A and B are shown apart, each in its own frame.
Chain A
């Protein structure tokens, strides 16, 4: 533990302590800012009752499905567009048109098309992830030095082998950048899509608590979303270390 670590711990602990003390002393209205320990207690209650784990499971199911569909489609289309000119020409105008639209603005349309169930939420998340992964994958393919493609061809690689053994691994670092951004986007979108037209999920739990002015439970939702964000970041970092050991070692 370095001095820097201690300062970081002191910063967090100090603020939480001050917060707790101020609420107890009656200087802060718990309706606006419940004490950290009471949030923790609420979290524990909701975990024991099964309410919180169930909400997390419902949301995770939507996030993971949407993320996987969006990521797979984004990677495949991105690799094809990066490697084959006409695929790029077909995709380019759509990317230019849809990429700047906040994907949450598409949710009403998807509700209309895919109904009130899980599908509309999963599609919204998938579309949000898709464009981030797609754009980064294309960048990744472009960043591959042309001399590597030449070397591969010179050594006898077929077009398919160049694709699998040069273009894919060459684009992988940028693909992971897209996946990280996409994971963040998926969490944003799952919250937004769970505000309306659902009776389950972490976003629903948080929003319902807000409407009942139950600030403790709002905080439980916020903290849980934060934990999910940290967990996905760790998971993706681990995956990147395992699949791209050559990058890890350059750090």
Chain B
């Protein structure tokens, strides 16, 4: 097991009113090596917050996060996770290569070594030839490839994806879904993937964690054993989509009512 969440909760204080709004409650979850774990839920269910907590970018208000494979059970120095952000979060003043080497650079890897690693990753995400372009010179799909290569450059065990394809058009999204699967298979990394798209969850995941509308709790955990390649029109896929659609629909309604 790579990652263990125990009773994790998060409360956002609202300074103006003094209220404390619960965002996450009692999240208990184990993530095994090599999984493609989907966190699925309606907007505002706290799934992105959960991802930030796993990344160590936010502190939980309750519970604990453990990385059992490390000596002290914590992330921190040798970071085990890397995040791929929804809006790419590329450094506009760095080229593709400059963005990809950022992690190794700040972690003190010698230049020759980190450039070679970045070059390999740029090839992995099919961006060879674009090394010296700036982010604004790239399409949305290419930017997300850079973000993926940059996250891989620290050689993390777990990659965290925060709705990475939400900003892309439908065609590009289809291509990128296949690309993510290929890279997941080729690198053998563990993916924790936040989305509100049911279709994406069924196409990509090995396991789907369905969350409730805010405060986010785990409503259902679903193993996805469907063979790959999957097609949304396949019978087994359609049946699963229907079932999850009903569950997700309940939560979307609850979210709107509250």
User: Chain A interface (Cβ within 8 Å of chain B)?
Assistant: 145, 147-148, 150-158, 161, 165-166, 169-170, 172, 244-246, 249-250
**What would be 27 A-B contacts, judged by CB atoms less than 8 Å apart?**
A147-B85, A148-B89, A148-B91, A150-B85, A150-B89, A151-B85, A152-B91, A152-B102, A152-B106, A154-B56, A154-B57, A155-B102, A155-B150, A155-B151, A155-B153, A155-B154, A156-B79, A156-B107, A157-B102, A165-B91, A165-B102, A169-B91, A172-B93, A244-B93, A246-B93, A246-B94, A250-B136
How does the 8 Å CB contact mask read for B174-195 relative to A, with 1 for contact and 0 for none?
A: 0000000000000000000000
Given contacts A151-B89, A154-B83, contact A246 B134 (CB under 8 A): yes
Total interface residues on B, CB under 8 Å, equals 26
Determine the distance from Cα of A62 to Cα of B134 in the docked complex, in whole angstroms.
39
Determine the distance from Cα of A155 to Cα of B98 in the docked complex, in whole angstroms.
13
The number of residue pairs between A and B whose CB atoms lie closer than 8 Å in the complex comes to 62
Given contacts A147-B85, A246-B136, contact A156 B92 (CB under 8 A): no
Interface contact B93-A249, CB-CB below 8 Å: no
Interface contact B106-A161, CB-CB below 8 Å: yes
Interface contact A154-B91, CB-CB below 8 Å: no
Query: Taking chain A's interface residues, is the majority helix, strand, or loop, or is none over half, making it mixed?
Result: helix
Interface contact B106-A156, CB-CB below 8 Å: yes
Determine the distance from Cα of A169 to Cα of B93 in the docked complex, in whole angstroms.
7
Chain B residues in 8 Å Cβ range of A250: 136
Chain B residues in 8 Å Cβ range of A161: 106
User: Chain B interface (Cβ within 8 Å of chain A)?
Assistant: 55-57, 79, 81-83, 85, 87, 89, 91-94, 102-103, 105-107, 134, 136-137, 150-151, 153-154
Determine the distance from Cα of A245 to Cα of B137 in the docked complex, in whole angstroms.
12
Residue of B nearest to A162 (CB): B106
Using A148-B91, A151-B89 as known contacts, list a sample of 12 further A-B pairs with CB atoms less than 8 Å apart, ordered by residue number in A. Answer: A147-B87, A150-B89, A152-B102, A154-B57, A154-B79, A155-B82, A156-B103, A157-B102, A170-B93, A244-B93, A246-B92, A246-B136
Chain B residues in 8 Å Cβ range of A249: 134, 136-137
Determine the distance from Cα of A44 to Cα of B153 in the docked complex, in whole angstroms.
62
What's the least CB distance linking A169 to chain B, in Å?
4
Most chain-B CB neighbours within 10 Å: which of A145, A150, A246?
Answer: A246
Determine the distance from Cα of A172 to Cα of B93 in the docked complex, in whole angstroms.
10
Chain A residues in 8 Å Cβ range of B55: 154
Residue of B nearest to A151 (CB): B89
Given contacts A165-B102, A246-B136, A249-B137, contact A154 B82 (CB under 8 A): yes
Chain A residues in 8 Å Cβ range of B79: 154, 156
Interface contact A147-B89, CB-CB below 8 Å: yes
Chain A residues in 8 Å Cβ range of B56: 154
Interface contact B106-A155, CB-CB below 8 Å: yes
What's the least CB distance linking A143 to chain B, in Å?
11
What's the least CB distance linking B167 to chain A, in Å?
13
What's the least CB distance linking A101 to chain B, in Å?
35
Determine the distance from Cα of A154 to Cα of B82 in the docked complex, in whole angstroms.
6
Interface contact B89-A165, CB-CB below 8 Å: no
Residue of A nearest to B153 (CB): A155
Q: Nearest 8 A-B pairs (CB), nearest first?
A: A155-B103, A151-B89, A169-B93, A157-B106, A147-B89, A246-B134, A154-B83, A161-B106
Determine the distance from Cα of A221 to Cα of B216 in the docked complex, in whole angstroms.
72
Interface contact B136-A156, CB-CB below 8 Å: no
What's the least CB distance linking A241 to chain B, in Å?
13
Determine the distance from Cα of A244 to Cα of B153 in the docked complex, in whole angstroms.
25
Determine the distance from Cα of A245 to Cα of B134 in the docked complex, in whole angstroms.
9
Chain B residues in 8 Å Cβ range of A154: 55-57, 79, 81-83
